[in-house]
Structure 1
Amino acid sequence: MRDPLFRMALVLGLLSAVGPFAIDMYLPAMPQVAADLDTTEAGAALTLTSYFIAFGIAQMIYGPMADAIGRKKPMVLGVAIFLVATVAAALAPTIGWLILARAVQGFGAATLMVVPRAVIRDVATGPAAARMMAAIMIVISISPMLAPLTGSLVMAWGSWREIFGVLGAAALLSLFLILVVLPETSEPRNRQPVRIGQMMAGARRLLTDKRFMGLTMIGGFGMASFFVFLSTASFVYKHQYGLSPTGFSIAFAINAIGFFSASQFAGRLAEQFGMERVISLAITGFAGLTLMLTALVWSGADALPLVVAGLLAANACLGLVIPTTMVMALDPHPDIAGLASSLGGTIQMLTGGLMIAVTGPFMDNTSATMVAGITLCALLAWCAAAASLPRLRLGRMV
């Protein structure tokens, strides 16, 4: 990758990490939030659900906006909204207030998921874009490995409210990077005014594109597995295994290492073996490993090291799937890259929220139900791949 592209990837990675950081840094605090605001664990989990839903819906706004007025202005607007909501969350007197503030926060953070994807599409395609996406994952990987630890350290001298102070500082840094460091990559001649009819036509084109929808749902169910983990892990690790916020943070970081380590090989493997083969093999490995882990845990082998190791291995496979499906879904649609990115992101986030809602009633703060929920998502991702990838459907993965 040329140095300018690598530098741009690092900047985009820092910006893209803000949204995940706002989730991961907050996870160790969820039990304290439930106690402090006099609510149930399910009520505390709604602060994540509201974030995900707003995050998903907002992507349909920022994508077309990025196609119409360029890449930088939508990012400035979204980060400003995120900053205001972060202050509101820090001052929340009730769980209802916090749920609403987190929803607005997710609405703002969505811009940093949609627009960087469109920026990548502006400057690179194919394996080069996959390498850029992998470089972004290097920076994003800081979030699941350091954000929970940062959150637990903040709680050691303060409370969950101070966590939002750190997120506010991250928002200010993001504004600086967007305004001063990041170049505008959308040429004025390529911009398209926001027209509802045009958007509907573009959406119909994407929604009826079996390849686009198949790849989007593979990534959607893959991400849903991680959302199920996010919504349950802090309570499972606390109640079943007795971990402190710091202990949870360490276990969570280990679970995430596999995903982000493997993602760095996505571009290289795609060049050598082809994107479709990489996805086919990786999604099969993901489904197989989660099935094996579920069988072991339900048979009584539910020790913490086994659960952490099993999720580490499964997430390594998932790390090859997510960046590759993102690139493959956008490649055929350069003229509506912003809309394609936002629609794909919306579908994936809503899929994640739906899977949390579907699995939530069955969760009982044990690893057995947690890994079962993750496995359900993995199997649905494999089914989406089998339906949309000829190589997997015909059994020609090697």
Structure 2
Amino acid sequence: MRTWIGLLVLCLGAAVTLLNMAIISPLLRPIGEQFGTSDATTGQLATLGSLVGVVSSLAATPWMDRFSRRTWLRLEGALVLVAVIVSALAPTFGWLMVGRVLASCGSAVIMANCMTGARELFHDPVWRNRAIGIIVSATTLAFVLGMPVVTQVEARFGWRIAMALVAIPVVLLLAGTFALPASPERSVPVLRTHPLAAFRAVLGHPRTRALLVVHGLNLGIYSGWLVYFGAYTTDVFAASAGVLSALFFFSGATELLANNLTPPLLRRFDPVHVLYLMLALVAAALLLTGTAIVSIPAVLLAAIVILNGTASAYIAANALLLDGEVSHPGAVMSVAAAFIGVGTAIGPFVTGWALATTGSFEAAYRALGLLAPVAMLALWLGTRRRVTVAAVEEMSTESG
């Protein structure tokens, strides 16, 4: 029972991470109206936060496997709670930036600890992948339930009250950390090594480096799409708060299916092939913006493809990174969080730059879609040696 309670706490951590990242999307336009900033400028709050998250993740990497998930989640959750208060009470755009910086510091390795926690709670790879799917489903539930609620609360009470709602799951997370182990799991005795040893253990393999790049670009696409989605639907289609809430709800609800179907899919097919397929689908959905995607139903379909594609790719990448006997699982996930931070900085930056340059949300999303082929190229470069070696071994076996 304690294992499942622990998994629930990890799900709360995942929900906090998603809400902290996605909260800007439905609030982007009202924040800009209050502080007199453009959509492109306000959207760079996400870029700033992501860059801060990169630094925080890298700083945390040497210590990820020395402290327990309980300790990490308490520290990170407390910092996010302070950040939410600062953001909701921000008197100027500068203070809002301070709040978002604190929020990024606090949430930088929450998801990394959630994924590492899944590995510590479930030693069997099949159950571990299921746990990863459940944790990612928690982010989907946060999206499906949280984004419509935030949108409606903003429409009635303003963006500050909507921003403050994030404090609720943060408090629940802090209260639930008692269910997690008080000390980190040690599969083998860990000596006091040099802090950089964790980085060498993670970045010493070409395949791992490629997966980290794909991980970052995949979440960068998601973030770059999500941050501007509210302003895009409002500006291009004159969507009301009700329509935007419905888009968030129905597109996000379908993601639950992908989250729970992806783990069994990974048992049947090579996760690398799953990554290729999902990235190709996401690229198509973004590159067709403004040509085939010209109505609210088409926007809903594109949102479903993007949400499900990036979610499945995220699960597949995590499964590959945590597969096998990883000597520093916490460090792997922390470095992955840093790469995700770089990606989630690049995504909104690319979208915002294209929007500021062209004045077109459609062109901005098409520019964002070009990141998917880059991710596919990185995946091919990092895994081709493995395929070649496997082919040589197979030929040797047949000749023998």
Matching residue of 1:202: 198
Sort the Cα spacing of 1:379 and 1:270 in 2 relative to 1 into closer, same or farther, 3 A. Answer: same
Aligned residue type for 1:375: G
Work out which of the residue numbers 278, 286, 290 in structure 1 matches 2:279.
Answer: 286
**Are positions 1:65 and 2:63 aligned together?**
yes
**Are positions 1:317 and 2:273 aligned together?**
no
Structure 1 residue runs of 4 or more that deviate by more than 6 Å after TM superposition: 391-394
Sort the Cα spacing of 1:72 and 1:194 in 2 relative to 1 into closer, same or farther, 3 A. Answer: farther
Sort the Cα spacing of 1:160 and 1:365 in 2 relative to 1 into closer, same or farther, 3 A. Answer: farther
Q: How far apart are the structure 2 equivalents of 1:267 and 1:248?
A: 30
Q: How far apart are the structure 1 equivalents of 2:149 and 2:317?
A: 31
Q: How far apart are the structure 1 equivalents of 2:211 and 2:34?
A: 42
1:303, distance to aligned residue in structure 2 (A)? 2.0
Matching residue of 2:103: 105
Which stretch shows the higher mean deviation, 383-392 or 84-93?
383-392
8 Å Cα contact 1:232-1:370 kept in structure 2: no
Please show how residues 373-388 of structure 1 align to structure 2 within 5 Å: 373-388=367-382
Q: How far apart are the structure 1 equivalents of 2:362 and 2:74?
A: 43
1:335, distance to aligned residue in structure 2 (A)? 2.4
**Are positions 1:360 and 2:358 aligned together?**
no
Work out which of the residue numbers 338, 345, 366 in structure 2 matches 1:346.
Answer: 338
Q: Secondary structure at the match of 2:91?
A: coil
Aligned residue type for 1:389: T
1:7, distance to aligned residue in structure 2 (A)? 4.1
Matching residue of 1:166: 165
Q: How far apart are the structure 2 equivalents of 1:127 and 1:100?
A: 42
Q: RMSD over aligned Cα, in angstroms? A: 2.7
1:84, distance to aligned residue in structure 2 (A)? 1.2
1:289, distance to aligned residue in structure 2 (A)? 5.5
Q: How far apart are the structure 1 equivalents of 2:161 and 2:290?
A: 39
Sort the Cα spacing of 1:188 and 1:216 in 2 relative to 1 into closer, same or farther, 3 A. Answer: closer
1:229, distance to aligned residue in structure 2 (A)? 0.5
Matching residue of 2:74: 76
Which stretch shows the higher mean deviation, 134-143 or 286-295?
286-295
1:286, distance to aligned residue in structure 2 (A)? 3.3
Aligned residue type for 2:277: T
Which stretch shows the higher mean deviation, 28-37 or 117-126?
117-126
1:341, distance to aligned residue in structure 2 (A)? 0.8
Which stretch shows the higher mean deviation, 44-53 or 341-350?
44-53
Structure 1 spans left out of the alignment, 5+ residues = none
Work out which of the residue numbers 222, 237, 244 in structure 2 matches 1:241.
Answer: 237
Q: How far apart are the structure 2 equivalents of 1:86 and 1:53?
A: 18
Q: How far apart are the structure 2 equivalents of 1:8 and 1:391?
A: 38
Q: What percent identity do the matched residue pairs reach?
A: 19
Please show how residues 256-335 of structure 1 align to structure 2 within 5 Å: 256-273=252-269, 277-288=270-281, 290-291=283-284, 294-295=287-288, 297-299=289-291, 302-332=294-324, 334-335=326-327
1:271, distance to aligned residue in structure 2 (A)? 1.9
Sort the Cα spacing of 1:392 and 1:246 in 2 relative to 1 into closer, same or farther, 3 A. Answer: farther
- Cα offsets for 1:312-366 (capped at 9, x unmatched): 1343333322112112113345321111110111012212212332342212564
Sort the Cα spacing of 1:127 and 1:385 in 2 relative to 1 into closer, same or farther, 3 A. Answer: farther
Sort the Cα spacing of 1:67 and 1:282 in 2 relative to 1 into closer, same or farther, 3 A. Answer: closer
Sort the Cα spacing of 1:271 and 1:366 in 2 relative to 1 into closer, same or farther, 3 A. Answer: same
1:161, distance to aligned residue in structure 2 (A)? 0.9
- Cα offsets for 1:89-134 (capped at 9, x unmatched): 1111111110111111111122321211221222325332111100
- Cα offsets for 1:154-178 (capped at 9, x unmatched): 2233111112322223221111011
Sort the Cα spacing of 1:132 and 1:209 in 2 relative to 1 into closer, same or farther, 3 A. Answer: same
8 Å Cα contact 1:228-1:373 kept in structure 2: no
Sort the Cα spacing of 1:22 and 1:359 in 2 relative to 1 into closer, same or farther, 3 A. Answer: closer
Q: Secondary structure at the match of 1:69?
A: coil
Q: How far apart are the structure 2 equivalents of 1:71 and 1:190?
A: 18
**Are positions 1:55 and 2:49 aligned together?**
no
Sort the Cα spacing of 1:287 and 1:154 in 2 relative to 1 into closer, same or farther, 3 A. Answer: same
Q: Secondary structure at the match of 2:248?
A: helix
Work out which of the residue numbers 62, 85, 88 in structure 2 matches 1:87.
Answer: 85
- Cα offsets for 1:28-78 (capped at 9, x unmatched): 121111111222222321222222222332222344333112221121111
Q: Secondary structure at the match of 1:68?
A: coil
* TM-score under structure 2 length normalisation: 0.87
Q: How far apart are the structure 1 equivalents of 2:71 and 2:21?
A: 24
Q: How far apart are the structure 2 equivalents of 1:314 and 1:23?
A: 16
Sort the Cα spacing of 1:302 and 1:219 in 2 relative to 1 into closer, same or farther, 3 A. Answer: same
1:258, distance to aligned residue in structure 2 (A)? 4.2
Q: Secondary structure at the match of 1:335?
A: coil
* TM-score under structure 1 length normalisation: 0.87
Q: How far apart are the structure 2 equivalents of 1:258 and 1:127?
A: 23
Structure 2 spans left out of the alignment, 5+ residues = 391-400
8 Å Cα contact 1:266-1:324 kept in structure 2: yes
